[in-house]
Amino acid sequence: MKDIVILGIESSCDETSAAVVVNGRRVLSNIIATQVKLHAEYGGVVPELASRKHVESIIPVVDKACKDAKIELKDVDAISVTYGPGLVGALLVGLSAAKGFALALGKPLIGVNHIDGHICANYIAHRELEPPFICLVASGGHSHVVNVIDYRKTVVLGRTRDDAAGEAFDKIARVLGLGYPGGPRVEKKATEGNAQAFSFPRVKFKDSPYDFSFSGLKTAVINTVNQFRQKNEQVPVADVCASFQKAAVDVLVDNTMEAAIKTKSKTVCLAGGVAANTFLRESFEKACLNAGIKLLYPPLALCTDNAAMIASSAYFSFIEEDFAPIDLNAIPGLKLGEKYS
Give the interface with ligand KG4 as residue ranges (CB under 6 A).
Answer: 13, 139-141, 166-167, 169-170, 181-184, 187, 272-274, 276-277, 304-305
Identify which of residues 225 and 275 has a Cβ nearer to Zn ion in the complex: 275
Q: How far is the CB of 238 from ligand KG4 (least distance, A)?
A: 15
CB of 112 to ligand KG4, least distance (A): 13
User: Which is nearer to Zn ion, 211 or 305 (by Cβ)?
Assistant: 305
Q: Please report the DSSP string for 197-242 in residue order.
A: SS-------SS-TT-B--HHHHHHHHHHHHHHHHTTPPP-HHHHHH
CA 109 to CA 7: how far, in whole Å? 10
- Nearest to ligand KG4 of 170, 211 (CB atom): 170
The least distance separating Zn ion from the CB of residue 82, rounded to whole angstroms, comes to: 9
Site for Zn ion in 288-307 (CB under 5 A): 305
Residue 88 sits at φ, ψ, to 5 deg, of -60, -45
Shortest gap between Cβ of 75 and ligand KG4 (angstroms)? 29
Q: Quote the CA–CA distance of 272 and 266 in Å, as a whole number.
A: 21
Closest CB to Zn ion among residues 115, 221: 115
CA distance 6 to 187: 35
Which residue's CB is nearer to Zn ion, number 139 or number 160? 139
Site for Zn ion in 122-141 (CB under 5 A): 139
Min dist. Cβ of residue 291 to ligand KG4 (A) = 23
Three-state DSSP at 257 gives helix
Could you give the residue ranges of the DSSP H alpha helices within the chain? 36-40, 47-69, 88-105, 114-125, 165-175, 182-190, 215-230, 237-262, 278-291, 300-303, 308-318
Residue ranges binding Zn ion (CB under 5 A): 139, 305
